[in-house]
């Protein structure tokens, strides 16, 4: 049962353009959403997050949008840079501290110079 | 100085063997986790310990036994290894229980291959 879905396994974008990575979730009890970035042979590293009480959070080139009614969030990277090439994981958690962080399968982003 | 370190990074072993993966964090975090990334690339929680106390155990076979000698260490011991145990195992830690903005810091992963 996939509670967090990233339906695009890969995405290629030209350098300088916008990258949009999408994520859907099924559990309405999720109240916090995070994006992690992973390079080969490394662990995932935290990128940006958003609380369910917000619909947008921005940090430099990275913006996360949340549409609660659609149970959908997206990560926008603009402008995209070659160093952004990595696997991006969407993750979500509920209110309780005993609720584990649930991850999607990831989307591999390739930024082409 | 690595924040969350796992050893070994690679482990190749035969079915039926017993093996351990060690994890240490120097961040002063109270909570540690083991996640498994299988061939389908899902990252799934296995265990979570808060101040050496088990708080999450997600339907993992009892061949897997985590041990937390202190809050800076969480080791994973696997008995009677099976082919399906082949995966990358990630250790992580967080300051307190993972609620809200509390971010997990991951280790680099330990790739286990069972032949």
Which pLDDT tens digit goes with each residue over B20-71? 999 999 999 999 999 999 888 889 999 988 888 888 778 788 999 999 999 8
Nearest chain B residue to A49, by CA = B101
Q: Does B8 touch chain A (CB under 8 A)?
A: no
Q: Is residue B34 part of a domain?
A: yes
Domain of residue A10 covers 4-112
Q: Would you state the structure tokens that stand for residue A109, as one six-digit string? A: 């982003």
Q: Is residue B104 part of a domain?
A: no
Domain of residue B8 covers 4-97+109-114
SS3 B20: strand
Q: Are B78 and B18 in contact (CB under 8 A)?
A: yes
State yes or no: pLDDT of B96 exceeds 80: no
Q: Is residue B103 part of a domain?
A: no
- Given A34, A43, A97, which is nearest B99 (Cβ)? A97
Give a three-class secondary structure readout of A42-108. CCCEEEEEEECCCCEEEECCEEEEEECCCCEEEEEECCCCHHHCEEEEEEEECCCCCCCCEECCCEE
Q: Does A37 touch chain B (CB under 8 A)?
A: no
- Compute the distance between CA of residue A73 and CA of residue A50 in angstroms, rounded to an integer: 9
Render pLDDT for A69-84 as a digit per residue (tens, 0 to 9): 999 999 999 999 999 9
Report how many domains make up chain A: 1
Report how many domains make up chain B: 1
Give A99 to chain B, closest Cα distance, Å. Answer: 8
State yes or no: pLDDT of B98 exceeds 70: no
């Amino acid at each position: 049962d996939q509670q967090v879905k990233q339906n695009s396994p890969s995405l290629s974008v030209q350098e300088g353009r916008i990258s949009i990575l999408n994520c859907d979730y099924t559990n309405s009890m999720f109240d916090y959403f995070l994006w992690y970035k992973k390079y080969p042979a490394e662990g995932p590293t935290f990128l940006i997050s958003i609380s369910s009480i917000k619909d947008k959070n921005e940090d430099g080139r990275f913006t996360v949008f949340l549409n609660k009614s659609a149970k959908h969030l997206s990560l926008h990277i603009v402008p995209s840079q070659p160093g952004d090439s990595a696997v991006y994981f969407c993750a979500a958690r509920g209110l309780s501290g005993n609720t584990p962080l649930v991850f999607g399968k990831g989307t591999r982003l390739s930024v082409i110079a | 100085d690595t924040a969350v370190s796992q050893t070994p990074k690679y482990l190749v072993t035969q079915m039926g063997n017993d093996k351990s993966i060690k994890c240490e964090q120097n961040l002063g975090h109270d909570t540690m986790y083991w996640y498994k990334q299988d061939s389908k690339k899902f990252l799934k929680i296995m265990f979570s310990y808060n101040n050496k106390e088990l708080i999450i155990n997600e339907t993992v076979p009892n061949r897997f036994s985590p041990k937390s000698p202190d809050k800076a260490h969480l080791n994973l011991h696997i008995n009677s290894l099976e082919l399906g145990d082949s995966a990358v195992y990630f250790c992580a830690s967080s300051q307190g229980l993972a609620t809200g903005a509390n971010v997990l810091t991951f280790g680099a992963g330990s790739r286990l291959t069972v032949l």
